Amino acid sequence: MQATAFWLNKRNCPLEVLYVFERGHKWQAEADTLLKSIALDDKMRARFRYRNHLFEDKRKECALQAADLFAWTVTKAKSCMGNKVPPAMRPFISPIMKLARLNSRQNINMLTGEKLKRFIDEQSYGTEGIFVDFGPRRRAFR
């Protein structure tokens, strides 16, 4: 959401965003809690260009299927960087790397270690030190 708002601001685009997520994801309740709290705060609404949000079944939405396929492909390509590339991924590596270099619009980063910690901190506290309450946490492992 921060990246979306940053991109819109950088291009002087006045539009607000309808955030759409996959229905049934294990973190749906937490995401919904966060987005509802953003919806109630005028400053946060403006900051994230929030218009509304919804959760949809990606099997019924072509745009979500395309986004999911793209995310899967990029994730697989990132996992192949510096490693042996499985035959099924070979056709995708070159186009994805080419896309990542076009006008610096896409960046492929391995979020591990300090980069991952900084990313989580930025998502939790924002770049201006504003804490966002994500609501109660669910245990990921039992």
Residue 28 token pair: 């749906």
Helix (H) or strand (E) holding 22: strand 17-22
Average pLDDT (18-32) is 88
DSSP state of 115: H
How much is the CA Rg of the chain, to the nearest whole Å? 17
Higher pLDDT, 110 or 117: 117
pTM attached to this predicted model? 0.52
Domain ranges of the chain: 1-56, 70-126
Q: Is the pLDDT of residue 128 over 80?
A: no
38-64, pLDDT tens digit by residue?
A: 999 999 999 999 999 999 887 777 777
Average pLDDT (118-136) is 60
Which residues lie below 8 Å from residue 31, measured CB to CB, with a gap of 6+?
21, 25
Q: Check residue 137 and give its pLDDT.
A: 57
Average pLDDT (71-90) is 69
By CB atoms closer than 10 A (0-12, 13-18, 19+), residue 30 is: middle
